[in-house]
Amino acid sequence: MTTKSVAELLSKDVTLQDVTVKGWVRTFRANRFIALNDGSTINNIQCVVDFENFDEALLKRITTGSAIHVTGELVESQGKGQSVEIQVKALDVLGDSDPETYPIQPKKHTFEFLRENAHLRTRTNTFSAVMRLRSSLSFAIHKYFNENGFYYIHTPIVTGSDAEGAGEMFRVTGLDAKNPPLNDDGSVDYKQDFFGKETNLTVSGQLEAETYAMSLGKVYTFGPAFRAENSNTTRHLAEFWMVEPEVAFMDLAGNMDLAEDFMKSVLSYALENNKEDLEFLEKRLLDEEKKLPQAQRSDMSLIEKIKFVVDNNFKRVSYTEAIDILRNCKPNKKKKFKYIIEEWGADLQSEHERFLVEKHFKCPVILFDYPASIKAFYMRLNEDGKTVRAMDVLFPGIGEMAGGSQREERLDVLKEKMKALDIPEEELWWYLDLRKYGTAVHSGFGLGLERLIMFATGISNIRDVIPYPRTPQNAEF
Ligand code: 4AD
Ligand code: MG
Query: Can you give the three-state secondary structure of 305-331, one letter per residue?
Result: HHHHHHHCCCEEEEHHHHHHHHHCCHH
Which residue type, as a one-letter code, is found at position 405?
Answer: S
Q: What digits encode the pLDDT tens for the residues 10-56?
A: 999 899 999 999 999 999 998 899 999 999 999 999 999 998 999 99
pLDDT above 90 coverage of the chain, percent: 92
Domains and CATH numbers, the chain: 6-102 (2.40.50.140), 123-156+203-221+244-464 (3.30.930.10)
324-344 average pLDDT score: 96
**pLDDT value at position 218?**
98
Q: Residue 138, SS3?
A: helix
36 in contact with ligand 1, CB cutoff 6 A: no
240 in contact with ligand 1, CB cutoff 6 A: yes
**pLDDT value at position 296?**
84
Looking at ligand 1, which residue's alpha carbon is closest to its atom 27?
236
Q: Across the chain, which distance is largest between two alpha carbons, in Å?
A: 86
pTM: 0.97
The enclosing H or E element of 86 equals strand 84-95
Looking at ligand 1, which residue's alpha carbon is closest to its atom 21?
448
CA–centroid distance, 446 to ligand 1, in Å, is 6
Q: In what order do the strands lie in the sheet with 151-152?
A: 151-152, 218-226, 239-248, 442-448, 399-406, 387-395, 365-371, 315-318
CA–centroid distance, 64 to ligand 2, in Å, is 44
204 in contact with ligand 1, CB cutoff 6 A: yes
Of 190, 206, 196, 289, the residue nearest 243 (C-alpha): 206
Q: What DSSP character marks residue 195?
A: T
Q: What digits encode the pLDDT tens for the residues 75-101?
A: 999 888 789 999 999 999 999 999 999
